Structure 1
Amino acid sequence: MQRIFAFFSQRATTLFFPIALILYDFAAYLSTDLIQPGIINVVRDFNADVSLAPAAVSLYLAGGMALQWLLGPLSDRIGRRPVLIAGALIFTLACAATLFTTSMTQFLVARFVQGTSICFIATVGYVTVQEAFGQTKAIKLMAVITSIVLVAPVIGPLSGAALMHFVHWKFLFAIIAAMGLIAFVGLLLAMPETVQRGAVPFSARGVLRDFRDVFRNRVFLFGAATLSLSYIPMMSWVAVSPVILIDAGGMTTSQFAWAQAPVFGAVIVANMVVVRFVKDPTQPSFIWRAVPVQLSGLAVLIAGNLLWPHVWLWSVLGTSLYAFGIGMIFPTLFRFTLFSNNLPKGTVSASLNMVILTVMAVSVEIGRWLWFNGGRISFHLLAVVAGIAVVFTLAALLKRVRQHEATTLATES
């Protein structure tokens, strides 16, 4: 009987837990992507200024940063399971609350609370995957999770645009709330526990000490810089593209949705390439081969917009090519940053996500300002500067990772 129970317990960990996490993550993405084609409608329904449209993304990101300081150390001490399950419930309730909003302010507050899902998923959920599986399997599983979840930015705008021909935009959040509820039940039934509860007492001094140690670690600093800078071209485009393509470009919501598909489809293809064809995604030679792809995408972004400034194709094509390059190595960079040290993983993940989300939220606001005050070229230069900086931080990260691995081998021998 014990063997049967152990078999089904392991089966739940390897199959049903990732499915529940994917559904939670997928719903969190949809809360932005499904409504993206209709965000102008939201603004108009509430008689608000169109410049507030990107704030629905930046406040979502701010919500994703708000609880990082607490959830990482908390999950290190009381366990990953209760923290992630609570997060799924909070997200579900926040999506349901959107149905009752009557002003842009209330809508943005709901978006902020929905954004806390990033805290729970990235800080607790992804760490649990990394702890429950070995290095190569965890990297490839994260690539699979990312690929499936990133279907949301591809089908989300298309589905949202289609649904809004028949239903009010608030109904979209009802769909997302239902998905969140199913994910909550799935995590409740299948999520494993990967830390020993109560092994470390929860105290303000202990939490501050852990955060201090994390931000003194060179691998973490260069990893956080590489990951956060890598996100800037993608997130600035996601936040500002409705204004660029719909408000200024005159696209319909359906046209806008199709224009977004290549960007996120490129990330999905990149992750599938890693899962299917790359034997060891941690090899520096493989990582460096992805860098020219990213840089060529940024070159297309600028050159195309300089030569044909009124053709939006170059913005989409350049961003898509960049997305393919970064998609191939992102899971590996996350693994390096998280595990190339001996620090508490929940605190490391929380610190990493605070840095990433801060940079993303600031970059969205900078991108919005550049678009409204400097135009398309100024806006795209933000992506180029970030992409070039990534090359230098990546070189420093890989050097520190090699040093850590050499030290670890010397200690073990």
Structure 2
Amino acid sequence: MIRSFFQRKFYVLTSLYTFTVFVSNDSFLPAIPDIAHYFGFADGDYGTVQLGVSAFLWLTMAFQLIAGPLSDRFGRRPTLLLGALLFIVANSMVTFAPSVGWFLFWRAVTGLSICAIFAAGFATINEYYTNVDAIKALGLSATIVIFAPMVGPVIGLALMKIGGWKFTFWANSLFMVFIFALLHRYMPETRKLAENGSTPSLRQNIWAIFKMSRERDFLLISISSAFSGAAFLVWITAGVSMLCSNLGLSEAEFVLYNIPVMLSLMLGNFLSAYITKDITKTVYRMMFCSSSLIPLFVFLGYIQVHNQLSSEVTIFTHLSAPILFIVPMALFSFFRGILNPPLTQFILNKQNTNKGSASSFMSFIGIIGSITGATVAASLSGAGNNAYYYTISTFILFALFFFLLAERSAKRNLLTS
């Protein structure tokens, strides 16, 4: 019975893999003071150890374009199993680090396990399941990524109370050993070989990514997805400034008001499979639903720059200003949550072969979009909150623009073929 369940729904295992990897990046946060003290830093001097959070992503983007070709060359199973094994070794070696430099090094190596999720996990889901089941699986994975930062620090604090900061890392490694065993036993190999049964070399698979970069439809739709992600990253990066600095909320109030935004994203991911009957139509609708919020974000920026919410916009005088600003962001999060799984499936469906490379390349572009959103938001510090809302509007508009360009290109190719 267990064997039958995991063989039919192996995406539960890939989701557990995803959960463990992302929880590991948040579970050691409560232990940062203890880790800093362990490496000889003075009380309050946590900056270097805190780099362990970002170090987790240092190598991810660099190796993302290698993981996909590895998945296409050697298979989905070996790639994901290698990612799990790499996590187990690197995450365990963190506890043996003789210096903070080695601590950061092993944290960076641990982050490489993320590459396997995109290169092998997403590709396997796309190849193995029908569109509806694939969207359900991708939605579950996306929900877990959002949920992990919420529960990670709580789990980490509990583990630290049991056995100290090193036990936090050992517990994550042990759980990954359990997942590794299940993946080894139940994960199918879905990589499709060429018609003659041959397997392209690693060099040919790497070259396939460069070919994808010249495929107009695939590239444009991936860029569209990246801009949508960039819009959300502006909120993630600058939300504290947008609500605390301008509206006078405390950090605790910001956390409270941020809950609807994150829950909306999770709800959208969860409902995506049940809402999506036709992938193309769902992607169209959610793109336009997101774009319909642009005037509202621009209006909020106007209110911010003129500071006339109470005096001139009388229709809103009985509403709490923070709620007025949270609602459109929660709506955008909900639309993005619904959009993400079918859009991922939509992009991967455009590639008949090299799904691993396609998934990695799509994720690589998405990471660039996230970095762009976070960097732009950080650079706007002190420019006024209206700049944040205008930036969100601009990124959403770019997402729609590149999506329409991709669809126009696809229709043109269809007519000429």
CA contact (8 A) 2:59 2:112 kept: yes
One-letter code aligned to 1:287: M
CA contact (8 A) 1:127 1:346 kept: yes
Partners of 2:155 and 2:241 in 1: CA distance? 19
One-letter code aligned to 2:110: Q
CA contact (8 A) 2:291 2:400 kept: no
Match of 2:118 in 1: 122
Match of 1:154 in 2: 150
User: What's the secondary structure of 2:126's corresponding residue?
Assistant: helix
Q: Please report the RMSD computed on the Cα atoms of aligned residues, expressed in angstroms.
A: 4.1
Shift of 1:282: 2.9
Match of 2:107 in 1: 111
Partners of 2:33 and 2:375 in 1: CA distance? 17
One-letter code aligned to 1:67: F
| Deviations, residues 251-291 of structure 1 (Å, cap 9, x unaligned) | 67x77765553332211111222233443343155334532
Shift of 1:183: 1.9
Q: Count residues in correspondence.
A: 397
| Alignment partner of 1:331 is 2:341 | yes
Match of 1:30 in 2: 23
| Alignment partner of 1:86 is 2:87 | no
Match of 1:280 in 2: 278
Match of 1:264 in 2: 262
| Alignment partner of 1:397 is 2:406 | yes
Shift of 1:357: 1.8
One-letter code aligned to 1:327: G
When structure 1 is superposed on structure 2, of 184-193 and 342-351 the one drifting more is 342-351
CA contact (8 A) 1:124 1:346 kept: yes
User: What's the secondary structure of 2:280's corresponding residue?
Assistant: coil
Bigger radius of gyration among the two = 2
| Alignment partner of 1:135 is 2:144 | no
Shift of 1:222: 0.8
CA contact (8 A) 1:301 1:315 kept: yes
CA contact (8 A) 1:72 1:123 kept: yes
CA contact (8 A) 1:235 1:364 kept: yes
| Deviations, residues 206-233 of structure 1 (Å, cap 9, x unaligned) | 2343122111101111122012112123
User: What's the secondary structure of 1:19's corresponding residue?
Assistant: helix
Shift of 1:25: 0.5
Shift of 1:362: 4.5
CA contact (8 A) 1:62 1:358 kept: no
Unaligned 5+ residue runs, structure 2?
Answer: 310-320
One-letter code aligned to 1:389: F
CA contact (8 A) 1:72 1:124 kept: yes
Partners of 2:271 and 2:166 in 1: CA distance? 37
Query: 1:366 and 1:161, CA in 2 relative to 1: closer, same or farther beyond 3 A?
Result: farther
CA contact (8 A) 1:161 1:257 kept: no
| Deviations, residues 67-112 of structure 1 (Å, cap 9, x unaligned) | 2222211211211111110101112233223334566544443332
Query: 1:93 and 1:260, CA in 2 relative to 1: closer, same or farther beyond 3 A?
Result: farther
Match of 1:76 in 2: 72
1:387 to 396, 411, 415: 396
| Deviations, residues 190-216 of structure 1 (Å, cap 9, x unaligned) | 110012577224243x23431221111
| Alignment partner of 1:209 is 2:216 | no
User: What's the secondary structure of 2:112's corresponding residue?
Assistant: helix
Normalising by structure 1, report the TM-score: 0.78
Shift of 1:116: 1.4
Partners of 2:32 and 2:299 in 1: CA distance? 28
Match of 1:65 in 2: 61
